[in-house]
Structure 1
Amino acid sequence: MQRLARGLWVLQDQPLTDVERAVLLQKHLCGPQAGLVVSGVRGLELLRLPVGGTEPWVLGVLSRGRQPRKQVAPRSAADGLVAAQQRVELLWTDHRVQSQQEGIRIAKSHGLPDLEGPWGSRIAHPLESLARLALILPPWRITACLDALLSTRFCVLGTSQPLTFSRGHLEECLQSLPPHARGVIRLHRAWRDARSPCWSPAETLARLVIDRHGLPEPALNHAVDVAGRTFILDLAWPGARVALEYNGAVHAQEIGQYRDEMYRLSLLRDAGWDVTVLTWDDLRNPARRETWLARLRRTLG
């Protein structure tokens, strides 16, 4: 028996996950007719969006060439994100609901359409959750979440109906949010940087670094036919036959993945493609970052 909230108990041997706790509270806090939906970090995690923090160097790199704006202090934003990750955020949609219970925050929904969640629950629209978290999320993380929304065919855990978000739908929802709210203003700024198809937050970050250094915008996940096979290049400039590939941890940890990647790169290079492979250190380390940026400047003219 586990305590869910004051007056609510769960019969389960294993500890509840954060997502399970949020869903159960959405369904049972204040009664099943309360019209609550799961928002906040838990709501975005149900869609597997890349919510998270950042490293200190990113802000300086992405501020390059941009007019300075008043920013939330990094430590304050990081502390705010930790607090958001530890609480359950719910929105009421029909009738006002309040709760003074610790670790639970309830607010009024802005009225965007909610989504089907696991086990009969309801999830707040991701743009509503992002707008409410925008002041504590790093701007590039907001853009990465928007890239994912534009690019992904979602299947929420515990549901069977695939879910996609068109650019037109997301733009319409953005216009429905309160235009002068600080989080909404920040969400609109991030939206201007959103692109598709983009399936990795590291790809989003690499693209933004390229943009801030004044280089041409790449095509994303560009399909190339080589030796009777189709390969997808993370960031490409097809006219110049230049590409960047980002390799995450899986390429270093899985020997089979590494071998396939080396073979793929050899075929692409034999076909005349100039492919540079990046890792996180190539983004983070100033000297390594300047090396591949300088190479792009030379090859792209």
Structure 2
Amino acid sequence: MYLEPLPQRFPIPQIDTTARWGRRTRSLQRDPSMVALTHGLWAQWDGIIAPTDLQPWEVSALIASAVPHAAVSGLCAAAALQIPLMWGMNWVDGVLGQARTWTPWNPAPEIVVPNGHKLWRGNDVVVRKLAAHHTLQSGPWGSQVTAALPTLLALQKWQRGWRAVVAADNVLARAVDEAGQPLQLQPGDLMAQLHGIAPGTRGKALLFQALNQAAPNVWSPMETVLRLVVIELGAPPPAHNLPVVLSSGRKVYLDLAWKQRRKALEYNGKVHHLNWRQYRDEAGRLNELRDDGWDVRVVVMDDLQSRQRLMALRRWLRDLH
């Protein structure tokens, strides 16, 4: 199971230690073509990038590409694999009756290395031991990145509850095989892999809890949040992105739907009011759905943050019981 990592924004640089560059540290620091990745390890880009332009996951990937058997891990692996890191939005904790689902994290580059492996490093890079459950996949600049499941496990340290469900949904929706072909994964597929990891592994119990609430075919974090909210309000689990062929012959997808009751929820986020063309298309699509007998309710973030609007949504969901 693989996720396509973020593309590398810059060409592959030459990376080596201070000693192998054959120059003093001060000389390297004054050279605009040199970027310090960590203590004693430098990359040369011929001045096309400043050190502050690199994201932590990019620094991790560059270090991992230069250090044998090292791999990007933790939060940096999640960022490289485009797994959502849901910071903020603490109001969702209250709506779902959850507490402390987010722990502040260290944004430093992070890698894993085999036990006893030597690494040029300072306090600016987090280095952990490569564990038995750390399966790896290819990443940017020829690096290795911890694969989806071990990355989800690591995320439980910082993101639990609904945030972990968002990450799991994302992995299920975006998983591909080694040839890059989509995998139709179900939560049980990830659970089966998780069962194979040693008992007592940090994050395992929490990830099981998240997978029990995960769902396939979820295309955005807010679709996950909306599903969890409507289930908390008493509705049965909906289908995600249900394909529906309208009487006009047009095929559309409903964010959350209960097919037998012909009821659906559509979440409208920022893109819907920033993109005028998409807004007009959405309006026409909703009209066609309603003309075909679908009861479609549009939800925006304010509907989930307001107690009064939540109660209105609960009333709309009543006949689904």
Normalised to the residue count of structure 2, the TM-score between the two structures is: 0.80
**Are 1:48 and 2:68 counterparts?**
no
Please identify, of 190-199 and 112-121, the stretch whose mean Cα deviation from structure 2 is larger.
Answer: 112-121
- 1:213 to partner: Cα distance: 2.0
Equivalenced residues, count: 279
Which structure: larger Rg? 2
Aligned to 1:188: 208
In structure 2, stretches of 5+ residues that fail to align are 1-33
2:163 partner amino acid: R
Aligned to 2:127: 106
- 1:57 to partner: Cα distance: 2.1
204 and 16 in structure 1: CA distance in 2 versus 1, 3 angstrom threshold: same
Aligned to 1:68: none
Aligned to 2:236: 216
| Percentage of identical aligned residues | 33
- 1:195 to partner: Cα distance: 0.6
Deviations 1:158-191 (A, max 9, x none): x984564734652232113333245221111101
40 and 182 in structure 1: CA distance in 2 versus 1, 3 angstrom threshold: closer
Deviations 1:51-93 (A, max 9, x none): 12242322222128xxxxxx6x46xx442x3x1xx11221224
Aligned to 2:94: 60
3-state DSSP class of the match of 1:179?
coil
3-state DSSP class of the match of 2:296?
strand
**Are 1:7 and 2:28 counterparts?**
no
Judge conservation of contact 2:185–2:216 (CA < 8 Å) in 1. Answer: no
Mapped to 2, the partners of 1:251 and 1:16 lie a distance apart of 31
**Are 1:174 and 2:208 counterparts?**
no
Q: How does 1:216-235 map to 2 (within 5 A)?
A: 216-226=236-246, 227-235=248-256
In structure 1, stretches of 5+ residues that fail to align are 65-70
**Are 1:115 and 2:148 counterparts?**
no
- 1:97 to partner: Cα distance: 2.6
Normalised to the residue count of structure 1, the TM-score between the two structures is: 0.85
1:142 partner amino acid: A
3-state DSSP class of the match of 1:49?
coil
3-state DSSP class of the match of 1:180?
coil
Mapped to 2, the partners of 1:130 and 1:237 lie a distance apart of 29
Mapped to 1, the partners of 2:155 and 2:117 lie a distance apart of 20
- Alignment RMSD (CA, Å): 2.3
